[in-house]
Chains A and B, each alone.
Chain A
Amino acid sequence: EPEVTQTPSHQVTQMGQEVILRCVPISNHLYFYWYRQILGQKVEFLVSFYNNEISEKSEIFDDQFSVERPDGSNFTLKIRSTKLEDSAMYFCASSWEVSLHFGNGTRLTVT
C-alpha cells in the first residue's frame, strides 16, 4: 500500500538555525498538509497546500514557516529561525479526498 514518507525521523538543531523537514506524499494525491504534535498535547493543523499554493494556514504558521513542493514529488516545511517552542513531532499528510494519510513524523528537537 502506498505510504507517505518523511525524513529525517529525528532532527536536532540549535535555536536560531533553519531546518527543512521533508515529505514524499502519495503519488496521486492532490492535497498536502503539515501538522505538529507537541509532546503530550493535541495534533495541531499548520498548513494545507493545493494546486501549488497554500489553501489554508493556522495562526501557528507565521512568517518563520514556509512550505514548498519543489519538484512535483517532495513537499517540504521550512522553519527559518527555530525557537525552543518549535520542538515537536511534525507530521506530513496527503489526500485525494476526505481521508488523510499521515507519515510517521519527524521529531524536531531545538536546543
Chain B
Amino acid sequence: GNSVTQMEGPVTLSEEAFLTINCTYTATGYPSLFWYVQYPGEGLQLLLKATKADDKGSNKGFEATYRKETTSFHLEKGSVQVSDSAVYFCALSYSGGSNYKLTFGKGTLLTVNP
C-alpha cells in the first residue's frame, strides 16, 4: 500500500538557519505529493504541493522537489524564522477515482529559537 516516511523529530534550529526535513514515499502509480503545516492549536494547512515528477512546489520560502528516481519530496527553507515553528507533515494522494485521500507521514516538530 501507499506510505510516507519522514524524518523523525523534533528539530530545533536557530533563526536564519537552513532547514531540511526529509520525506520518502512508497506508492503505486504516480501520486501527488504535499507538505502540510500545523501551527499550535490549529488545523492542517496546505504549504505546498507537486503533482508530477520533477515539479517543484514552493510557498512562503519553503520548497520541495518531486524526485521520482529517489521517491522523495524533501522540504527545504533557506532561512527559518521563529514563526515557522510548527509540525510539518509530508503526504501523498493517489486518486482512486472518487476521492483524493491523503496518506500522511508521522509529522516533524520544528522549533525555531530566536
Contact = CB atoms under 8 A, between A and B. Distances in A.
B29 interface: no
Interface in A1-40: 4, 31, 33, 35
Interface string B91-104: 00101101111111
Interface residues of B, number: 24
Interface string A57-80: 000000000000000000000000
A84 interface: no
Nearest to A105: B43
Interface in B33-92: 34, 36, 42-46, 49, 51, 89
Contacts of B49: 98-99
A104 B93 CA distance: 21
B43 A48 contact: no
Interface secondary structure of A, over-half rule: strand
Contacts of A91: 43-44
Contacts of B51: 98
Contacts of A104: 42-43
Nearest to A44: B104
Interface of B: 32, 34, 36, 42-46, 49, 51, 89, 93, 95-96, 98-107
Given A102-B43, A104-B42, 15 more contacts: A4-B43, A45-B103, A48-B98, A48-B99, A48-B101, A50-B99, A51-B98, A56-B98, A95-B100, A98-B93, A98-B95, A99-B46, A100-B46, A100-B100, A102-B36
